Chain A
Amino acid sequence: MRLVDIAHARSGDKGDRADIGVFARNAGDYAIIRQALTAQRIAAHFQGIASGAVEVWPLDNLWAVKIVLNNALQGNAARSLRSDNLGKCLAAALLRMEIGNPDE
C-alpha cells in the first residue's frame, strides 16, 4: 500500500525549509500513518532532495502529521534551479511512499 491510498497532503516553502501536511481520513488510518511516518523513513525517502534534519509533528485533533524538511530547497525558492522551486510537488512525492499493507 502507498501513502496516497489512505492520506492526502499539501506542501509549502519557507526559506530552505519545505513543509508537508499529511492528512488521514479516519482514526484508523491516522494510526497507520503515524506509525509509518518516522523521521528516519522520511529522510531516507527524500534522499537527494533534502539533506537536513526531518521534524515530525503529529496532531491527534486533526488526524494529521506535519513534516518539516530542513535544507530542502537549494537555499530558497529564488535561488533554486529546480522547476519545482517552491517544493509544491514534495507532498505528491511523499504520497508515493510505500507504507506496508495492514492486512498482511
Chain B
Amino acid sequence: MKKIRIGAGLGFYGDSWAPIATTLARGEVQYIGSDHLAELTLAILHKDRSKDPQAGYTRDLVPMLTALWPAAQARGVKFLLNAGGLNPEGAAAALRAEFAKRGWRAKIATVSGDDVLDRIDQIRGTGATLSHLDNGASIYTVRERLLFANAYLGAQPLVEALGQGADIVLTGRVADAALFLAPLVHEFGWGWSDWDRLAQGITVGHLLECSGQGSGGNFNAYGERGWQTIPDYPHLGFPIAEVSEDGSAVITKAPGSGGRVDFDTLRQQLLYEVHNPHRYFSPDVVLDMGTLRLDDLGHDRVKVTGATGLPRPNALKVVAGYADGWAGSATIGYSWPQAYAKAQTAERIVRQLIAERQLEYEDIHTEFIGLNSLLGPLADTSHAEELNEVYLRMLVRTPDRRLAEAFPRQFPWLALSGPPTASGFSGMDAPRALLGLWPTLVPRDLVEAQVKVSVSAT
C-alpha cells in the first residue's frame, strides 16, 4: 500500500527550524506542513502591514526556506505553510526575490481569500449576522476597532495548488490541520465526503501542527516516565506521520533525534486545545475522537487508527481581532529577609498613590513572581515568609494610552524612598496594545467564492 510521510514544520511564529533540517536529512518525508499562525499572530502581522503594505506575512518565512530549500529540493520535499498571514502574495514575492537572487527554482503557490475584513458589511448584507459566537453580541459593537478578520479555510485550495505542481504552498489563515490533510488528499485522491479518512487526516494534522509538542516537548508528566526522562531536549525531533492510503497512520520522528513519541506524549497533543472531543470541527470534516485508537509500537512509533468523521459544517469559523485598550506594567524585586512582606507593602503604596492621584484603571492586576505569578490563587503560599526573593509585578488595563504610560512611573522612586532592598526594576517600556478576539461564523459559500489559488515559477 502506498505511504506518504509528512513532517511537522514550525508550531508557531518564532519556533526553531533546526529540527526540520533533521527531518529533511533523516526523516524520509515528502512534505512539510508548517503552522506559523496562532490565534493572535495576525494582530502582530497587522501591525507590520500598517507600517509597510508589502509586509503582513511572518518574517521567519524567507530565512527558514532559504536555510531548508537546498536539502528539500534535493529530496523532492514540498512545503505547505500558512506563513502568508495577511499577505500571501507579499510573502510569495519576497520568497521569489530571494530564490531568484540565488538562482533557485521552485513553483510557489499562494492561497488567498480568507481575509474578510473588507467584506464585513457585504457579508452582513447577505443575512449573516457575524454575531459573537459565545455571547451573541453584535459585531457593530467593535466594528470600528477591528484590526483583522479571517476565515479558517479548509484543505481544498491547497490540494488545488499541489495539483498545479506547486513545490511551496503559501496560505493565509487555514485550519492548522489542513496543511497536513491537503497532501494526503492530493496523493491518495480521497473524496471530499470520505469522512472517516478525512477525519484520520485531520487527526494526523492535529498531532503534527504543534511541532515538538507531538514528540515529547512540553510533556507535563512527572515520575517514572515524566518530563525529566525525555531524551536529548536540545535535539528534540519534530513529529513525522507515515500515512497509508486507508488513512491509518504511524507517528514517529527522525532516527537519532531527541524527544519521545509514545502513547503518553501523543495523547497529550491529541487533546490539546480540543473542546468537545466528539465534535472537533474543521472546515473539511468534523472529527469524533471517541473511536480513535493509539497503539504504541515501541521505538518512537505509535499507530493511529479509528477516527470517525462526520459531515463538514456549512459555516466557516472567522476569528476577528479588535483593539481593546492598553496595558501598563512594572516589576520590582525585593530580597530576603521579609521579601514577600516588602513586595506586599510596595503594592499597597502604589495602590494608595494611584488612588490619591486619581489614576483610574479598568483593572489592576498583581502578581508576586517567585510565589504566585504562574499559579495565581492556586499557589501554595505557606513558605512565603522565607523566600529568598520576590518580585512584585503589577499591571493595569485602560482604554487611555497615557494612563497606561503613567502607571510604571509610580515605581522608580520606591528604590530610595520605599521598603529596603529594592532591586531589578523594569517597566519603562511603551505600553502594550491589548486585543479583543471576536469568534464568529460565516456561510461557507460566501468565503469560498472569493478564494484564489495562483502558482508561479521562479
Chain A: residues with CB nearer than 8 A to chain B? 4-5, 8-17, 19, 21, 23, 25, 45-49, 55, 57, 59, 61-62, 64, 66, 68, 75-79, 81-84, 88-89, 91-93, 95-96
Contacts and interface: CB of A to CB of B under 8 A. Distances in A.
Q: Is the interface of A mostly helix, strand, loop or mixed?
A: mixed
B376 A66 contact: no
A66 B277 contact: yes
Contacts of A47: 377
Interface stretch (B67-75, B290-298, B347-355): B290-298
A4 B224 CA distance: 12
Contacts of A15: 39, 134, 437, 439
Interface in B359-417: 363, 365, 367, 369, 373-378, 380, 393, 395-397
A19 B155 CA distance: 26
Instruction: For chain B, give the interface size range.
Output: 35 or more
A8 B367 contact: no
A75 B324 contact: yes
Contact of A76 (B213, B273, B291, B436): B436
A61 B378 contact: no
Contacts, number: 144
6 contacts: A9-B268, A10-B268, A15-B134, A25-B264, A62-B271, A81-B329
Nearest to B271: A21
B395 A81 contact: yes
Nearest to B394: A81
Which of A19, A77, A79, A82 has the largest count of B CB atoms less than 10 A from its CB?
A79
B275 A23 contact: no
B258 interface: no
A10 B218 contact: yes
Interface in B161-188: none
A19 B363 contact: no
A66 B374 CA distance: 22
Interface string B432-457: 00111101000000000000000000
Nearest to A79: B434
Nearest to A49: B376
A59 B277 contact: yes
Interface string B279-298: 00000000001111110000
A45 to B, nearest CB: 7
B220 interface: yes
A83 B324 CA distance: 18
Given A19-B272, A79-B324, 15 more contacts: A8-B222, A14-B275, A19-B273, A47-B377, A57-B276, A57-B277, A61-B290, A62-B271, A66-B277, A75-B436, A75-B437, A79-B435, A79-B437, A84-B374, A92-B220
Contacts of B293: 61
A81 B363 contact: yes
B341 to A, nearest CB: 21
Contact of A81 (B272, B276, B291, B397): B397
Contacts of B292: 61-62
Interface in B238-295: 264, 267-278, 289-294
Chain B CB within 10 Å, residue with most, of A9, A11, A15, A91: A15
